[in-house]
Structure 1
């Protein structure tokens, strides 16, 4: 089933995989695009995106790069990923400069190849000569002269990191400098070629001046927030960058859409009910959802309630699952300075009760800790600096993150250890998370029964996904299951389903249909899906019908037109549907029958 069409190019290979897997982040993108629009007028201040690992930071800024590249506007994108491995400073300098120059040249020439495969220094120089870019020629010559053991390595690095700002100033251009995992610049850069003895943790300070550039502002990210904030405060001055937090969770509707997209990408059978369960138990966390979809759990079945519970539980509790490996790595690095039982106990308690702030005294009393209040206060400050908890306005107020995935991982990793420490003579078991999952599912079922149509409040676009997936998973059905006013009474056997399909209207124009489903009996179901505040009027229904009439003259199949109006129909529109044999529906309540 083809759920989306793609029109844009994606010159930068996105780590998310298929571009279509990028879902949601509408508010974050709107905020960033407003900021990017101001770059042209020199109004944008450099920004740092703060979020935990696997929150979607990389996906977001890589998509920004590709959309900027496609826009062909005034702002030229440059993206650099700081690898989590040791690197000699001259090699970093050359790589940084080659990547920048290649992205610059790629944008000018509209050459996709140079984005993922940086040009050599000689190729960059040849381009500069043919286009009279003297600064580029001078920089390449300097780099070639100084990249060896005896070269001026400080000057080499300065030539690289200052290039976007210098070129923007010299040629009246605008660059957006995106550096992913910025904090690794303080950990993996060495002055000695063997990367053994001369680590230089001050490299982030190189950007102290250029982070204030208004012609080449920076957009930097980092996975370990406490570490990143410490670097900013130490080397860049906190006031020089605007800070923005990225919520690792999508909205409920965006999460549900992600479930469908990952299901299609991994060819993992689901249905509308199990999709809702996956989204609920994964808390609309796209990384969690992707782990569930590609899970190696034996006998995985994501089409049933029990199957979903077992796979979600496996990803959280099995140490060999991808989900567990990533989170353990995050905990190990974030908690390396406070990896003891009291800190874990405090962290788990605050994360569980994250709806309020606690003082050190309250924590001592609640957890019965054998520590002085001052010691607990120090522990809390360290946890806050590691970005494992939040601080309040008052110096003594602390609160757990509102991060459901983190809480489940903390429980699974540390709850038994904490209980055993408190009562060593008693046998303690690891927490059974499946009990919590069953409760969540019961809440979801109760919520479903309380609504007039489980999906009546979703957007039209998501309704398309719901309908298309149900067509596909049911496979054989009477169309009257979904729509009223269906004259064709036989069971349809669906061969293919697509959404947002574009077909030729005439030589000069095209038209788009929301959902199309081919049946083996030679019928083609075409569905228009709308969610509006006002009821759908006759004008909209007539326009849809005319499109189906035009298309029917160009194909052999017999079309069955249907209209799903989640906001309802006017009486005239409904009468028109009945007159023209158009199937109609105002709710997607067929899902309720399956609960």
Structure 2
């Protein structure tokens, strides 16, 4: 997705929390960016993002909304989440229209408040009349007239067709983002008291509008099998291009997520333990966030034992966020297939997710005492419950390629199926043993990542080491005093005496009255004289602002220094480094 030199705004509050916690996802944003570029030319076909809960879908579509709203690149975004809440049909329709109209107006007026707090129908009509947007005033009058006469189908038709109608009338492009689309089949009720069954056919309302090229749809779903069945039944499969969202980040981005969650949560880690957390959490950002924010009483993420114990707690404690999230998936399946055979097949398929299995193969492999037809029936139910997938052929089935799910399943079912409880702590320690034996590789990986997020690594190193002299990291440091670090901060801002604000990449205070100031340059280009002079000005401004502190300046430049820059640093006592040194005695 193309970036513009526009300060990012967040009218839609992102469920991830701090926007800076969204890391990685370059592949997904690049793919969706190319698709968004087609929309102004009427070539963007509606799309669905498929992935289990906590896989990052909502974070992705909410960021797309905020980028489109901020950049004003010719596409008006509309975001609507269908909640897991029983809702009366006309109330749902009115809520949908209010959200659309309010977000449409917010885009025109660049008023963030209208995204967070939708206008009433009366306020929407007033705006339409005052701004000569007759369609708004007419829609509201029609909505109220039809609702009063209990013509609820007409109320809903006005609501769901609004984006396409507005785009057509004003020759605009509107992106309709519907989060958790499958919920429309289970939580919208035709009677006020919600005593009858929900109206599953409501999804079919979008049968035609989903084909719009002026108001295409981007929908998500956390129950993949369920959503696919809804799409196939009501929207025709080919009308939504499918994109699977992998819940796992690359190893590099997973490590970055560890650092960011640790810093945002104020939880101490070391560079070694950050890699251990990433390894055991399989670079799953949700798993990582659960471990970092775990309420485990014995949590200590600065030691290997503490990491293992905390990860083990998140997997095994039924009240942990990790267990409860996956429990929802598992309970959905157990509500329909709660027997030893189903659990045995689920556990087996999850252990071998790289191949397809037929009912006949499973019967033979697991020694099941039920016929193949019954086995297939149970497997089909598990597919609809989103705990396994269909394979290449109609009779093929396979487990999810999801190591996190396998850990949960082992904890829940392995004792019942295999008559002994899994020793997950042993498995975790063996995994870290492999990591420890490859320590040189770990050092190399950490070193290679300096160019990506050096501030986090230096911040972590200072905070975990605490006692060191600056020369342990930087050459040419004039003051070699042994420091006792009491506080470390990243991207620390302070006001200069002239009133201007400036920022230090990494700042560390020692109890002896000394303060380390570090400037970090992560690009491969060499740092020149101009940049180090700018840093010297920051150093002097900080000394003026805090005259009682002794400042120890240092500059980390991954790309190295020009000759003039290095000479300037030596003359002014600025320590220099091109890498972070790890695994020294602490």
**TM-score normalized with structure 2 length:** 0.91
Could you tell me how far 1:438 is from its partner in structure 2? 0.4
- Measured in 2, the distance between the counterparts of 1:66 and 1:582 equals 41
Distance apart, 1:169 and its partner CA:
0.3
Counterparts of 2:239 and 2:166 in 1: how far apart (Å)? 21
Q: Decide which of 525, 547, 550 is 2:537's aligned counterpart.
A: 550
Aligned equivalent of 2:3: none
Partner residue, 1:492: 483
8 Å CA contact 1:47, 1:243 repeated in 2: yes
Paired position in structure 1 for 2:226: 227
1:433 aligns with 2:431: no
Q: Is the 8 A contact 2:106 2:114 kept in 1?
A: yes
1:527 aligns with 2:519: yes
Whole-Å separation in 2 of the counterparts to 1:447 and 1:172: 60
Distance 1:244 1:299, change over 3 A: same
Distance in 2 separating the partners of 1:286 and 1:408 = 16
Cα pair 2:454 2:520 within 8 Å, conserved: no
Partner residue of 2:434? Answer: 443
Displacement of 1:171 in angstroms is: 0.7
Unaligned runs of 5+ in 1: 1-5, 420-427
Partner Cα distance (1:140, 1:405) in 2: 48
Counterpart CA distance in 2 for 1:112 and 1:27 is: 29
Q: Shift of residue 209 of structure 1?
A: 0.4
The aligned residue for residue 316 of structure 1 is: 315
Aligned to 1:465: 456
Alpha-carbon shift at residue 368 of structure 1 (Å): 1.8
Output the CA distance in 2 between the equivalents of 1:52 and 1:227.
11
Aligned twin of 1:71: 71
Partner of 2:235 in structure 1?
236
Does structure 1 conserve the Cα–Cα contact (< 8 Å) formed by 2:514 and 2:552?
Answer: no
Q: Distance in 2 between matches of 1:260 and 1:338?
A: 41
Q: How big is the shift at 1:449?
A: 2.9
State the distance in 2 between where 1:247 and 1:144 align. 44
Once the two structures are overlaid, the 10-residue window that deviates more, 208-217 or 190-199, is: 190-199
- Go from structure 1 to structure 2 and tell me whether the alpha carbon gap of 1:199 and 1:450 turns closer, same or farther (over 3 Å shift): closer
Displacement of 1:377: 4.2
Provide the rounded CA distance (Å) in 2 between the counterparts of 1:509 and 1:132. Answer: 44
SS in structure 2 of the partner of residue 162 of structure 1: helix
CA contact (8 A) 1:456 1:566 kept: no
Deviating more after overlay: 374-383 vs 212-221:
374-383
- Preserved contact between residue 330 and residue 387 of structure 2 (Cα < 8 Å): no
Query: 1:378 deviation in Å?
Result: 4.4
Tell me how far apart the structure 2 counterparts of residues 119 and 26 of structure 1 sit (CA, whole Å): 35
2:169 counterpart residue number:
170
Q: Give the drift of 1:505.
A: 11
Q: In structure 1, how many angstroms separate the alpha carbons of the residues matched to 2:390 and 2:450?
A: 37
* Higher RCO structure, 1 or 2 (CA under 8 Å, sep 6+): 1
1:93 positional shift: 0.7
Counterpart for residue 117 of structure 2: 117
Shift of 1:506: 13
Partner of 2:554: 562
Matches within 5 A, 1:259-270: 259-270=258-269
| Matched-pair contact (CA < 8 Å) for 2:529–2:562 | no
- Take 1:566 and 1:551, find their aligned partners in 2: how far apart are those partners? 20
1:144-543 alignment runs, 5 A limit: 144-148=144-148, 150-419=149-418, 428-450=419-441, 453-494=444-485, 496-500=487-491, 514-519=505-510, 521-530=513-522, 532=524, 537=526, 540-543=527-530
CA distance 1:395–1:153, shift in 2 (3 Å): closer
Match of 2:136 in 1: 136
Distance apart, 1:14 and its partner CA:
1.8
After superposition, the C-alpha distances for 1:86-126 in whole angstroms (9 at most, x for unaligned) are 11111001100001001011111111111111100111011
> Matches of 1:272 and 1:452 in 2, distance apart?
10
1:28-107 correspondence to structure 2 within 5 Å: 28-107=28-107
**How far did residue 62 of structure 1 move?**
1.4
Q: Is the 8 A contact 1:281 1:437 kept in 2?
A: yes
Decide whether aligned partners of structure 1 residues 593 and 491 sit closer, same or farther in structure 2, where only a CA change above 3 A counts. Answer: closer
Distance 1:173 1:19 in 2: 29
